[in-house]
Structure 1
């Protein structure tokens, strides 16, 4: 198979991450979780007590950050290496996830992440998901998909995910409110807002399970190239 880049964007809980992971396995290429990269940066800044609003300190910190993504042959999750350390579990901690959403709006951080993300695609095929992959990171991606789903369906998915993780403190309505707020924040932010690329294929996942989502996208790609 020739080297390809597949960009999958969409709002929170639209199914893009799980779909991207399984699609990458099916295409036999690397899956890059752009969100994990921002979490790794958040972890580095927190560990080193660096205020991301201090531009001079931030520039120095970003120059020292090296993120590697090592694909796992045994599961869908990849191993995230930050400056030689496996931080796969650390970056999933609630405080890191929360802080990563805050720093993701910083222009210097986004610029550095885009550099690293593009470097990953120089020599290998990748599937990357996020909110600006098809518009900013890879505007010339071979395939672009934009996943959507109703707010009710996305809320249900997030609620069930929390239940599976033992995080049952938030009600359905609270999660729905959080997602609506995140949608507004993502689509109206000044830097790299969430929006569908003009040439992206939109897929409504409201009534689709993960396998159906993967098969639909895989079928589109398969019809275009010889796998």
Structure 2
């Protein structure tokens, strides 16, 4: 049944995972889990309490001491991140958080704690989850696995447009491209849960494709999987 289907969408930064996953989840009436927001919440704690992103034990102590809440927004079907009963979701896209999240996401202890939470979220409901290790580590038994990618130039252009629209300021595509290339290298070469397609993932290159085209292709895969 579609209401219990699990969909894993992995891929590099700027491939459109979050946008596509959110729409797919809404179209199917499933819970959308943005795992990137979970790692950003750890980065948010690090910024708030002055813990270096390289301090793995310090970061895990923050997670143990300051319990973050991950709740479903009943109206939107997405996760809300709470700290001490306050919704901090809008703060997770700040430049300070964005600047360190990829550095702390390499730590095994951080990933272990967040992976446990991510798995718990799909126990009682269908889910669309996006990230970098969903199909390989978090949900290796997902009904549908998609590795969503795009050319580096395309991803940099999209991210530049996204930042301009959100913050009203022009940004350099060249600098974004450089930053993305560096993150691709870090994510793909890390020892724990490296970025790579699952062996049975459907590789979907979104270069030159509209959001609707990508969404429709994933929905087609879902329909075929639940026949």
Cα distance per residue 1:16-41 (max 9 Å; x no partner): 11000000001101000001011111
CA contact (8 A) 1:104 1:110 kept: yes
Q: What residue in structure 2 maps to residue 207 of structure 1?
A: 208
Q: What TM-score comes out, normalization by structure 1 length?
A: 0.90
**How big is the shift at 1:149?**
0.8
SS of the equivalent of 2:198 reads: coil
SS of the equivalent of 1:128 reads: strand
1:21-60 pair list within 5 angstroms = 21-51=22-52, 57-60=58-61
Q: What residue in structure 1 maps to residue 70 of structure 2?
A: 68
The total of aligned residue pairs comes to: 225
Q: What residue in structure 1 maps to residue 218 of structure 2?
A: 217
Q: What TM-score comes out, normalization by structure 2 length?
A: 0.90
**Partner Cα distance (2:52, 2:185) in 1:** 25
Which blocks of at least 5 consecutive residues in structure 1 are unaligned? none
**Partner Cα distance (1:225, 1:161) in 2:** 34
- RMSD between superposed Cα atoms in Å: 2.0
**How big is the shift at 1:53?**
5.2
SS of the equivalent of 1:13 reads: coil
Cα distance per residue 1:71-103 (max 9 Å; x no partner): 3525x8643223422101121211012222221
**Partner Cα distance (1:213, 1:27) in 2:** 15
Task: Note closer, same or farther for the CA distance 1:121–1:206 as it changes in structure 2 (3 Å cut).
Answer: same
CA contact (8 A) 1:68 1:81 kept: yes
**Partner Cα distance (2:115, 2:92) in 1:** 19
CA contact (8 A) 1:72 1:78 kept: no
Q: What residue in structure 2 maps to residue 93 of structure 1?
A: 94
SS of the equivalent of 2:89 reads: coil
Task: Note closer, same or farther for the CA distance 1:142–1:83 as it changes in structure 2 (3 Å cut).
Answer: farther
**How big is the shift at 1:106?**
1.0
CA contact (8 A) 1:32 1:69 kept: no
Task: Note closer, same or farther for the CA distance 1:54–1:15 as it changes in structure 2 (3 Å cut).
Answer: closer
Q: What residue in structure 2 maps to residue 149 of structure 1?
A: 150
Which blocks of at least 5 consecutive residues in structure 2 are unaligned? none
